[in-house]
Structure 1
C-alpha cells in the first residue's frame, strides 16, 4: 500500500507531498502554499479523494486494449505538457515567439503543474475506459477521420476534457456526446 505524506518546510512555509514506502521516501509534489492543497493532492495520489472506494485505483486487471488506450493517452498528455512548458511565462527557456496556452490546454497544463506526473499517469489509466467507450460509440467512417488512433484520436480526446486545477476531469455525459465533441474538435483543427 502506498502512503503519501505532507510536510511543511519551516524556512519557506510551503507544503510538499512525498510518496513513502518501506525503505524509501520520494518527493512527488509541491511546493503548495496551502495545507489544504497538499492534502488534496495526497488524497488524489492515494486514491482516497472521497468517501468509499475509488474507481481510479480499485481495479485489479486491465485488458490489452485498455493498456494501449492508457499508453496512447499518456503519450498525448506528455506532448500537451511539453507544449505548455515551451510557452510557460515562468520558464526561462521558453520559446518566446509562442503565446501561452488558453482554454482546456491551459487548464491541463496548470493541473499537471499542480498534481505532478504521477497523478497524471494514474489519470491516463483512469480515463482509458472513457476513451475506449468514446471510440466504440463512433461509426467506422467517424473512426477513419481520427486515424491513426494514437496521433489523432488520443490528442483530440484529451483536448475536449475540461480540468479543474487539482486534476479532476470533466467530460460530456455519454460516450456518444464525447465522440461528437472529439469529432467537432478534429474537424475544426483540419
Structure 2
C-alpha cells in the first residue's frame, strides 16, 4: 500500500485525473493536497461572513471534483490554472449570494424600523404586507422567534405597550417610570431587533 501511494504521488496531474475519471477515488485526496496552498490563499483573500473555514474547504473540494470532470488540456489551460479560475468564480458567486442576502436583511431591518416608528407590530410584516418574498418573511419569523428572550423585563413591557400604539408618556405613566427611561428602553429594543435580524 505504501509503495502504491508513493507511485501515485509521483504521477502527473493528468495521470491522476484519468484515474479519477475512470472511477478510482483514491488519487483524489493526493491530487487535491497538491492544491492546498492555492485553496488556503484564496480562502484567506476573500471573506465570506456566512461561511466557516471548513465550509469553504468543502466548497473547494466540490469545485475541485467538478474541475476534474470538465478539464480539457487541449484548451490550453494547465489543470492548476483551470481550477484556480473555477474556484475564484465560485467564490465570487458565493459573495454575490451573501451580498444579496445582506441586502434583503437590510431591507427587512429598514421596513421593521419604519413600522416600529409608526407603532406597527412585526406581525404586519410577517403577513406579507411590505412586498417581501416568502423567503424574507420566513427569515424574519425565524429570527424574531428568539427576539423576546433578548429583552429585559422592562424592555418586554415597554415593547409590548409600544406595539399597542401607546405613546411614550402613556407607557411611562402605566409603568410608573420616567419618560426618559421608557425612551431609552425602546431604543434598546430597536437596537436589539436590528442586531437579531442582522446576525
- TM (normalized to structure 2)? 0.31
Greater fraction helix: 2
More relative contact order in 1 or in 2 (CA 8 Å, sep 6+)? 1
- TM (normalized to structure 1)? 0.32
